[in-house]
Homo-oligomer: A and B are copies of this chain.
Amino acid sequence: MQTNTYEQYQENKRFVAVDCVVFGYEDDKLKLLVFQRAIEPAKGEWSLVGGWTNKEESTEDAARRVLQKWTGLQDVYLEQVHTFSDPNRDPGGSVITVEYYALIKIDDKTSNLIKDYGAKWYTLDELPPLIFDHDILVEKALEKLRLRSSYEIIGRKLLPEKFTLTRLRNIYDQIFMRKFDPGNFRKKILSLKVLERLEEKDMSESRKGAFYFKFKPKKEGEFSDPIFKRSI
C-alpha cells in the first residue's frame, strides 16, 4: 500500500458515494431504473442505484462495481454528470455523491437479474418521487444525455443489434420530449453515414415494413458522430 502524505488531515475525510441514473429502452419506451433503498435513512423508498466508493478505485470503477452488484450488468456506457455536495442533501449525514448516467440494452437476462433486487423500470412520466435530491440528479442526467445525443447518435448503447429508424427516432422523441419530423430525422441520420441498412425488414409495425439498420463498427480513435456541424 502506498504511503499517504496527507494522513495529518484525517479529520477532513469525507463520505463519497456514486449514484447512477440508468437508462434503458424497452417496449418502445425510454425507461429509468430505480431501486428500493436498502439502508436507513429512507429505507424502502425509491432511489437511484448507488453505493460507497473506496479509496482503491476511481468513482467510475465504483459506479461499475455498484451496477454489476445490483443489476448484474457489465460493460455499460457511463458518463459522469455532476458532483453533489450540499452537506444537508442526505439526512443521514454529509455525503458527497458523484453522479453518472448509464445506457444499457435491456434483454431478458438483465430483466431477470434486476427483478431479484426489488428494482423497477419506470418511464419518465411515471417515475415515482425519489429520495433526497435524486429527482434533481435525474433532471441533470437528462440534460447531459440531451447534450450527448446532439453530438452523437446514442442509440448504439440502447438498441439491439438491428433496429428500425422509427425506433431510433422514438428514442430521440422521448429524450427531447418532442416529436421529430420522420422524414427530416431520417435524412439527418442517414446523412451521417454511421448506419448500415440491412436487407431484412421489420413487418410488425406497418404493412409496408421498415428496413432494419445497424450501426457501422466504430472506427478506432474516431471521436464521435457529430449530428450538428455548426459551431461558433
Task: List chain A positions with a Cβ less than 8 A from chain B.
Answer: 2-7, 9, 12-16, 39-41, 52-60, 80, 82-83, 85-87, 91-96, 98, 149-150, 172, 176, 180, 227-228, 230-232
Residues of B within 8 A of A231 (CB): 150
Partner of A58, one of B15, B16, B86: B86
Q: How many angstroms between the C-alpha atoms of A60 and B39 in the bound complex?
A: 28
Partner of A14, one of B3, B53, B93, B228: B53
Residues of B within 8 A of A2 (CB): 91, 93-94
Known contacts A6-B92, A14-B55: A83-B80 contact under CB 8 Å = yes
| Residue of B whose beta carbon sits closest to that of A88 | B2
A9 touches B52 (CB 8 A): yes
| Residue of B whose beta carbon sits closest to that of A151 | B232
State the Cβ distance, A229 to closest chain B Cβ, in Å. 10
| Residue of B whose beta carbon sits closest to that of A8 | B39
Q: How many angstroms between the C-alpha atoms of A41 and B54 in the bound complex?
A: 22
B80 touches A58 (CB 8 A): no
Partner of A150, one of B4, B83, B87, B232: B232
Q: How many angstroms between the C-alpha atoms of A52 and B6 in the bound complex?
A: 10
Besides the known contacts A80-B82, A96-B98, 5 further A-B residue pairs in the complex with CB atoms under 8 A apart? A5-B92, A12-B54, A13-B14, A58-B86, A58-B87
- Can you list 7 A-B contacts (CB < 8 A)? A3-B93, A6-B15, A9-B52, A12-B52, A14-B55, A53-B85, A56-B87
Q: How many angstroms between the C-alpha atoms of A80 and B13 in the bound complex?
A: 21
B41 touches A5 (CB 8 A): yes
Residues of B within 8 A of A13 (CB): 13-16
